[in-house]
Structure 1
Amino acid sequence: MRGSGDHRSSTVRAWLYLVAALVVAMVAVGGATRLTGSGLSITEWRPVTGIVPPLSEADWAAEFAKYKDTPQYNILNQGMGLSSFKVLYGWEWGHRLLGRLIGLVFFLPLVVFWWRGMISRRLGLGLLGLGILGGFQGAIGWIMVASGLQPGMTAVAPLKLALHLTMASLILAGLVWLAAGQRDDTIDPAPDRIRVVALLLPALVLVQIFLGGLVAGSHAGLVYNTWPSMDGALIPPMDSLFAIQPWIENFVDNHALVQFDHRVTAYLIVVVAVLHAIDARVSGPAGAAGRAAGVAVLALAQAGLGIATLLLAVPLWAALAHQILAMAVLTMAVVHARLSRGTGLARPAAREPALGFEGLAGRGA
């Protein structure tokens, strides 16, 4: 029979996975916002009052007038009608609304669970850290949008876009890590080598997501649409990869190097994931072997989808699928890494004081 501690951990785990699913949805909507060129349609950051969209024709005319002052309108969209602007505005408003919804779904249950003593000290600190990251993410989002409103800009700065996407991915990884640690059953730790590589894989995936953000932000996927070669060579010449001075700027602004870095890191992830799956199959417990195989299969699928996206010159559906599948790879890698450390060896309800009103009252008695 399941105890109350097991029921509490199951409830908290389900809540964390729900927030994680909303973060994935946020990433998907953000990708659609970028790909439709909608991200600069709202020119102000109003965290509270911005939840209300334009409700009258006068309100719409005022918002449209603000957009007409942006470089994106004057360079790319001059002559756009109000109906087309409403479509752009709707994507960006929906993206921001979903961000506010995630904040509510995260913080309101957190307060309830804390009050009822359902959150351990360690879990509480982790959740507090994620809440802080969420606040930073909102600020980074506005800094990113503001970069696209500068004179001569028609899109956001690639580096800021990559940071925004990577921060969202880091929050997702944190949520999944904490949720996986709330399992009710006991899982023994995997051998040291399996644990180390399992921890390496999410780090590599996060690096790849950052590089993918640079590719997306600089539109590097619209050039060199061949595979496995780039401009007729497996490895482009150095004078092509480092054509910009100073050399450090090539890693952000040079389409050839940005895409090459993304390709090479994809190869590295696939090789590490496949070899790790084989190793886990031979030497690891059955659970670790199954999870490692799942990571390898998803990594291979993501690589194949990335190649198709490149060859098709980045159609909307393929780009969105590629972005969402990246979140699936990260989620699976994080679950594998967390469970490889073992679970159920020190249940919070048994060995660690809970953060809650009851715990505080008992301590003061």
Structure 2
Amino acid sequence: MTLALNQTAGAPAKAAHAGIRRWLWTVAGLVFLMIIVGGATRLTGSGLSITEWKPITGALPPLSAEIWADEFAKYRASPQYQLLNNGMSLGEFQFIYWWEWGHRQLGRFIGLVYLAGFLLIALRRLLPARQVVTLFGMGLLLGLQGTIGWIMVASGLQPGMVAVAPVKLTLHLTFAGLFFASVVAFATALTPLRRVEPARGRALAWLLLLLLFVQVALGGLVAGSKAGFTFNTWPLMDGTLVPAGSQLFAQTPFWENFVDNVALVQFNHRLGAYVLFAVALWNLLALRRAAPASGSARRATALAGLVLAQSALGIVTLLLVVPLWAGLAHQALGFAVLAMGVVHVTRTEQAARV
């Protein structure tokens, strides 16, 4: 995340990089939108409606009744239709199809926007070679994310499957988080510091960012296993704070409990939230005590507030048994917290290098 951290304050640097920052924040905003659309695709059960991966020709939607019939026939041959949606009408199929098609189209658009900006920067040499190489690596990460998305969909088209594999959904979400974080970090690093201040709390800032990524991954497992539709009480789970070991580790082999056992998957996500909030509060108190008027203290306050709001929203989502609006809001706010964590780390590292 420590990208382009040799920037110093000053009007020339700020002016030179203003266009690049706007491009990066546009990409970040599109990825944020993609997270919301992806969540809606998952919660509406739309992710397996398109059974083929055609990066180029797949950009065109069905334009005739004949093509719609062909697409519907392909879906009717899938395990999800046969085991879960048997009897679905063409109109119902079109509803889920448009969600998945829109999700894929937005992915293509993000790729084009990123490629156009990268080529402009590289050809006009607007940044040093090291930073251009970093942007190229980020582009590879974006391409890998698209590939993982298809691998995820393919897992749900296997015999006997009615949804994608939780581990592959988690990989898809986590890699989206990695790309999103890298874009936010680069954009923040190109923004000059308003004032020089001592670097404080570097270790805690990095720990918070690590915990945020862990929590995103745990949330992906909850989504993939549909664990949010079970144990819809808080703070207790099935009448107790800590479910019995026989319930948490009921499956064999042992490791499968961490991805397929809804009790353990949800319990781990709850524990992750408690640990994350505790560390965010610790970071806030430490920075407020050391430098109450500093930028790092203000960022720590904002980060702790966001973590608290996200935790509260997660509880509401659970108690309401994951309605669409709450599920999407929870996922969106989670990535807003991640963005704040990335900004906090990047600014802390900048301060350490000034």
**Structure 2 residue aligned with 1:118:** 126
Q: What is the root-mean-square deviation of aligned Cα atoms in Å?
A: 1.5
**Separation (CA, whole Å) in 1 of partners of 2:85 and 2:185:** 43
2:348 is equivalent to residue 340 of structure 1: yes
Corresponding residue to 1:13 among 13, 21, 31: 21
Q: Residue 188 of structure 2: which of 174, 180, 183 is its match?
A: 180
Deviation at 1:125, TM superposition (A): 2.2
CA distance in 1, matches of 2:224, 2:80: 15
- Deviation of 1:81 (Å): 1.2
Task: Look up the equivalent residue of 1:21 and give its one-letter code.
Answer: G
State the identity as a percent. 53
Cross-structure match for 1:258: 265
Residue 267 of structure 1 corresponds to which residue in structure 2?
Answer: 274
Deviations 1:256-299 (A, max 9, x none): 10000000010000010011011111113610000011100000
* 1:345 shift after superposition: 5.9
Provide structure 1 residue ranges, at least 5 long, that are not aligned to the other structure.
347-365
Match of residue 234 from structure 1: 241
Deviation, structure 1 residue 238:
1.0
Q: How far is the alpha carbon of 1:202 from its aligned partner? A: 1.4
Q: Is the 8 A contact 1:190 1:341 kept in 2?
A: no
Q: Does 1:223 align with 2:267?
A: no
- 1:257 alignment partner AA: L
Contact 2:198/2:352, CA 8 A, preserved across alignment: no
1:104 equivalent in structure 2 = 112
Map Cα deviations across residues 214-244 of structure 1 (whole Å, 9 max, x no partner). 0011011111111111111111111111111
**Structure 2: gaps spanning 5 or more residues:** 1-9
Amino acid at match of 2:118: L
Structure 1 counterpart of 2:305, which letter?
Answer: V
Helix, strand or coil: the match of 1:228?
coil
Question: What residue identity is the alignment partner of 2:144?
Answer: F
Aligned-partner residue type, residue 32 of structure 1: A
Q: d(CA) in 2 for partners of 1:261 and 1:3?
A: 47
Structure 2 CA distance for aligned equivalents of residues 212 and 221 of structure 1: 9
Give per-residue Cα distances to partners, 1:50-87, cap 9 Å, x unaligned.
10111111111110110000011111111111111111
State the alpha-carbon separation in 2 of the partners of residues 208 and 230 from structure 1: 19
Partner AA of 1:148 in structure 2 = G
1:209 aligns with 2:228: no
Letter in 1 for 2:347: L
Q: Report the TM-score, using the length of structure 2 for normalisation.
A: 0.94
Give the CA deviation at 1:41.
0.5
Structure 1 CA distance, aligned partners of 2:272 and 2:89? 42
Runs of 4+ in 1 over 4 A off after TM superposition: 343-346
Q: Which residue of 1 aligns with 2:48?
A: 40
Q: CA deviation at 1:199?
A: 1.3
Residue in 2 that maps onto 1:90: 98
Matched residue SS, 2:350: coil
SS in structure 1 at match of 2:111 = helix
Amino acid at match of 1:123: Q
Q: Matched residue pairs, number? A: 344
Q: Name the TM-score, length of structure 1 as normaliser.
A: 0.91
**Conservation of the 8 A alpha-carbon contact between 2:199 and 2:351:** no
Q: Secondary structure in 2 aligned to 1:72?
A: helix
Partner of 1:149: 157
Give SS of 1:341's match: helix
Describe the SS at the equivalent of 1:342.
Answer: helix
* 1:176, distance to aligned residue in structure 2 (A): 0.6
Cα deviation for residue 190 of structure 1 reads 4.3
C-alpha distance after superposition, 1:154-182 (max 9, x if no partner): 11001100110010011101101111100
Quote how far apart the aligned CAs of 1:128 are: 1.3
Whichever residue aligns with residue 62 of structure 2, its letter is P
Cα offset for 1:7? 1.4
CA distance in 1, matches of 2:115, 2:232: 44
The 2-side partners of 1:297 and 1:337 are apart by 17
Structure 1 window deviating more from structure 2 (276-285 vs 10-19): it is: 276-285
Q: CA deviation at 1:124?
A: 1.4
Matched, 1:322 2:324: no
Residue 201 of structure 1 contacts residue 333 of structure 1 at CA under 8 Å; is this kept in 2? yes
